[in-house]
Structure 1
């Protein structure tokens, strides 16, 4: 494994591009100073003004989880005079108190119509289990629908404008182009990455979301997540973070590396601190998330472990005395 000398992210991420031992995500962050975000903000304003002038019951559609990003996106669009239709594609896992509050809060705070879309529960469970068994990619099926269903609803309601969140390819370093338009855009619906109009920052976004009633796990004192370094991302349902953890057996990193590398780039943490957290926590599968996932799809935790072992990348991982898969270079 090649490790980025700036942020600590390994090169096993799909699409990762290293140059002189520095990952593309770090180079992208440095290059943001060359992007004129003030011009992009003006462009966003023009897009919104043009859409409002066209008329219609809804000016745009926003897929929302109720999380910090969707809370801020909706707040900024409302400031620009927009009336979004909110759409949430649900999973079948146990909702957290914070997730339930945040989803309820986002529509009430801004007094907006909100569609909850629940995929057929049996199909969700069957497809999730199949993707877990075959690819160790449990939420592949539902995540495809989290992106595709809001666009279908936009077309059904004749809403020509949709806003997603961040351009993850740019933020995680699989592309060096901070595109504003999502590739799902067509002649009928334009789909934009909202955070391509603003420089994205997780901590600042979380603080701004809290001004509008967003709450994290600590606000309800409900769940201390193991294998994590923060309490405010991907907190809507318990088993959802299994999708984040299953990267570790395949690629040797998961959410700890994702978040600490971002914090290092933004000067919110030193690389030395990140290295220590990655060694201590990145391999850990949260037991509550594992239990909720197994209960939802109808398997035992023993079977869960057998599937993980089947997909584990033994070139970079080895089991420790407690039966946990660990990175060879960190033991």
Structure 2
């Protein structure tokens, strides 16, 4: 089933709920108070986020989680594995966001622990190599390795071959790239579903990114350009389909749920990618939420509750 029909009213200011406006205003206020967001060295920014002293709160550590390592092309790759209450009904390979520069599996534990609890899935969340210290192709190489590990070890380890994949922001980019790599490099299509939230699918920068400007509603144009520069510091090119999944052949991709808010600089990326996914003959669902900021599901609010219930239902029913 494909559900791409949209009501133009969702893009109007009148459609934005009061609590969504309050959340967005609070985010902008907090980020403006920081001044220059990237003045501190990246290791300090990452450490602050992991310690809970960053701009946004760190979710509680889940008792479901444990850290392991899997073999990767450049050495061991850490993963956080979160188990459901009973035997796993499937496995969700999760790839975190952060512009390929910041972020971690630990910082996404509010989302991944919820999926383990609500959907009965084991979650494997990948701590892939971060740019600019380890730019493209290190991150996607690690995600590819994690996917292959799951294909090879998952049936014995988790007792199932029912696999889904997904991520937020740059993690959605890497999830789409991983699906393509498995198909083209290994002749594999092991994932039955994909959850792609607020992804950056064209690193040449879509019109909504280019026209966003300076407003720091989680991200702005300068932030996204900075992240792309970090990621492609060495050999990466924005017009390479391995970098920009929107430019790739999407034949044979799994059923996908795309989620985005109308106040996300990366809005066009999701609108374009969902339609390309559908045009390639894949089952596609697209949810657009009025006023939602970039990866709004990480912030409280009515639309977050709605979107998370949709994601739960999608991952329960794939």
TM over 0.5: no
Which structure shows the bigger proportion of residues in strand conformation?
2
Question: Which has the higher Rg, Structure 1 or Structure 2?
Answer: 1
TM-score in terms of structure 1 length: 0.29
TM-score in terms of structure 2 length: 0.30
Which structure shows the bigger proportion of residues in helix conformation?
1
